[in-house]
Amino acid sequence: MHTHALLSAACCLALPCASALHLREPRDASPRVVKFDLQRNEIRDKVAHDRNRLSRRADTVSTKIDNEGLLYTLNISIGTPPQGFMVAVDTGSSDLWVNAANSSLCERRSKPCDATGTYSANSSSTYNYVGGWFNVSYVDGSGAAGDYVTDTLRFGGETVEDFQFGVGYDSSSDQGIMGIGYPADEAQVTDADQRTYRNLPAQLVHNGVIQSSAYSLWLNDLDSSTGSLLFGGVDHSRYTGDLVTVPILRPESSSYSSFYVALTGVQLGDNEISQKGGPEVAVVLDSGTSFTYLPESMVASIYEAVGAEYSATEGVAFVPCSLADEQAKVTFYFESPARIDVAMSELVLDVGEPGGLGGAEVCLFGIVPSLGSGSLSLLGDTFLRSAYVVFDLDNNEISLAQSNFKAKKSEIAEIGTGDDAVPSATDADGSDATSAGPSSTDTGSDEDDGVGMLQPGMGGVLASLGLAGLGLLL
């Protein structure tokens, strides 16, 4: 399942080809890891950005939101001589792809791909053609199609020769994606009935750069524009408390393909948000999605408690920005004792337009209902920023801890091999192999007894905002 939910990010940063490289962990005595610095894109020119938005259809607010700097990117280079790219990191898909220089999207007069990079096979002496069956589609309806090719990939001081990736001749996004999920979820497998190829985590293991197919993701808090992705290691300075390991859920009668874990409960202050007597919710940990998508009935309780106004047309919820100052937090429970607290300040997203109606500033809320036929529940960036997450693809486990936003000096330990490869992680209670999956997810019937525990006193103002009003605000 591809769970990338980002569209055309208006990245405003120029991309010099050669400087896509950075920190290399020294080899030998030091841990064998590869560290990527991640960057949250910022939008600089809000006026131009608003003009873009106004030219789009009314139901594409999510496009605009994604432009608001809620996308984590990393710098890589491909080819000989190197061509530079800024790609979005996505744990919800498994292919790397970049736009072709001559793609219909990139050739538009506004040159939308210039900031993020385009690939010209002709200009690379190390390019090789694999096949014309590259076609990836994401749950948000975006996608890319073209050729699978191989070429030299460089990042973080590492060089990977003959690395397979997709080239989009036809794509709906001006930014390439670095999918780092299970090989079983590669578009070549899911859409073209071919065998898996070694995607980035698999190739790094194959090349002996890291010991097992595992990496740690730390997005840092909303106030920070950088995070990191550490292949083959854990940085103990980046979390507080214990790193607790829970099993990745496997859909029945198929192999592990997405990062599903069991969400056993959600609490807002003293308010139990979980569906009464309902099943656990299978959620996907997905860095390629900006928001957190939970079953409708749970979200309704949360909205009632925080005074959020949901716009079904736009698929987002609005709250007064002052909600960010509330001390309450939303706690996500996994197999005990794994839990992550997400502070209100991390859930209230400033869309950058001051002075809404009645002088009240209106912000977006970071949790939205998982709608649509699949009702896929996703823990995206609004959740992930508060967590330190280790994805262990070899053991089919996720280790979670509360993010340490104040982290300074790194304490990196290598992830070895074997059952307990993630250093210092402890198993959750009864974390036996579980077989469950998306089909066992039940959004259930509504049980909306949310108590108005947070009363920012803005409900009236928000309720009075129709879609026309939102157009003014956003």
Ligand X SMILES: *[C@@H]1O[C@H](CO)[C@@H](O)[C@H](O)[C@H]1NC(C)=O
Residues annotated as part of the active site:
90, 286
Q: In whole angstroms, how close is the CB of 298 to ligand X at the nearest point?
A: 31
- State the minimum distance, in angstroms, from the CB of residue 27 to ligand X: 21
Nearer to ligand X, 169 or 293 (CB): 169
Q: How far apart are CA 103 and CA 141, in angstroms?
A: 18
If one asks whether residue 122 binds ligand X (CB under 6 A), the answer comes out as: yes
Q: Which two tokens stand for residue 214?
A: 């595992």
User: Which of 266, 306, 287, 260 is CA-nearest to residue 387?
Assistant: 287
Q: Is 171 in the site for ligand X (CB under 6 A)?
A: no
Residue with tokens 């990496």: 215
**Three-state SS for 73?**
strand
C-beta of residue 143 within 8 angstroms of C-beta of residue 135: yes
Half-sphere exposure of 132 (CA within 13 A, CB side): 1
Task: Please report whether residue 15 would count as binding ligand X according to CB under 6 A.
Answer: yes
CA distance 444 to 298: 10
Q: Site for ligand X (CB under 6 A): which residue of 37, 242, 394, 442? A: 37
Count CB-CB contacts under 10 A for residue 51: 10
Residue with smaller CB distance to ligand X, 327 or 373: 373
The pair phi, psi for residue 195, each rounded to 5°, is -75, 165
CB 402 within 8 A of CB 437: no
Residue type, 112: P
**Smallest Cα–Cα separation from 245: which of 466, 468, 432?**
432
If the CB atoms of residues 135 and 386 are measured against ligand X, the closer one turns out to be: 135
3-state secondary structure 180-219: CCCHHHCHHHHCCCCCCCCCHHHHHHHCCCCCCCEEEEEC
DSSP 84-121: EEEEEEETT---EEEEBTT-TTTTSTT-TTTTT--B-G
Please choose, out of 12-20, 61-69, 194-202, 387-395, the segment that lies near ligand X by the rule CB under 6 A. Answer: 12-20
Which CB, 93 or 245, lies closer to ligand X? 93
x/- mask, ligand X, residues 345-364, rule CB under 6 A, reads --------------------
Q: Can residue 142 be called a binding residue for ligand X (CB under 6 A)?
A: no
Determine the interface stretch with ligand X among 11-19, 49-57, 205-213, 276-284 (rule: CB under 6 A): 11-19
User: Residue 225 CB, nearest distance to ligand X (Å)?
Assistant: 9
Contact call for residue 102 and ligand X (CB under 6 A): yes
94 binds ligand X (CB under 6 A): no
Q: With respect to ligand X, which residue has the nearer C-beta, 170 or 242?
A: 170
Does 19 bind ligand X (CB under 6 A)? Our answer is yes
Provide the greatest CA pair distance for the chain.
64
Least separation in angstroms between residue 66's CB and ligand X is: 18
For residues 11 and 71, give the distance between their C-alpha atoms in angstroms, rounded to a whole number.
9
Residue pair 92/4 in contact (Cβ under 8 Å)? The answer is yes
The answer to whether 310 contacts ligand X (rule: CB under 6 A) is no
Q: Is 338 helix (H, G, I), strand (E, B) or coil?
A: coil
| 16, 279, 372, 374: which one binds ligand X (CB under 6 A) | 16
Neighbour-count burial of 208, counting CB atoms closer than 10 A to its CB (0-12 exposed, 13-18 middle, 19+ buried) = exposed
Nearest distance from residue 82's CB to ligand X, in Å? 13
Query: CB 170 → ligand X: shortest distance, Å?
Result: 5
Q: Is the CB of residue 12 less than 8 Å from the CB of residue 45?
A: yes
Residue 169 sits in the site that holds ligand X (CB under 6 A)? yes
Give yes or no for residue 105 binding ligand X (CB under 6 A).
no
Question: Of 60, 80, 126, 137, which one interacts with ligand X (CB under 6 A)?
Answer: 137
Nearer to ligand X, 124 or 264 (CB): 124
For ligand X, how many residues bind (rule: CB under 6 A)?
20
Phi, psi dihedral angles at 400 (to 5 degrees): -125, 145
Q: How many C-beta neighbours within 10 Å does residue 401 have?
A: 23
Given phi > 0 = left and psi -120 to 50 = alpha, else beta, which region is 193? left
- Interface with ligand X (CB under 6 A), residue from 104, 255, 424, 464: 104
Would you call the peptide bond into 112 cis, given omega within 30 degrees of 0 as the criterion? no
Binding residues among 394-433 for ligand X as defined by CB under 6 A: none
21 is a contact residue toward ligand X (CB under 6 A): no
* 75 belongs to the binding site for ligand X (CB under 6 A): yes
Quick one: how far is CA 446 from the chain centroid?
Answer: 28
> Please, what is the minimum distance in Å from the beta carbon of residue 43 to ligand X?
14
The span of 14-22, 323-331, 335-343, 369-377 binding ligand X (CB under 6 A) equals 14-22
The neighbouring-strand residues paired with 377 are: 283
Binder of ligand X out of 18, 22, 24, 455 (CB under 6 A)? 22
Query: Is residue 42 within the footprint of ligand X (CB under 6 A)?
Result: no
**Smallest distance, Å, CB 113 to ligand X?**
13
Shortest separation between residue 122's beta carbon and ligand X, angstroms: 4
Structure tokens belonging to residue 248: 């990745």
8-16, 26-34, 43-51, 54-62 -> range binding ligand X (CB under 6 A): 8-16
The stretch near ligand X (CB under 6 A) out of 102-110, 231-239, 400-408, 438-446 is: 102-110
State the residues that interact with ligand X by CB under 6 A.
13-16, 19, 22, 37, 39, 75, 86, 100, 102-104, 122, 135, 137, 145, 169-170
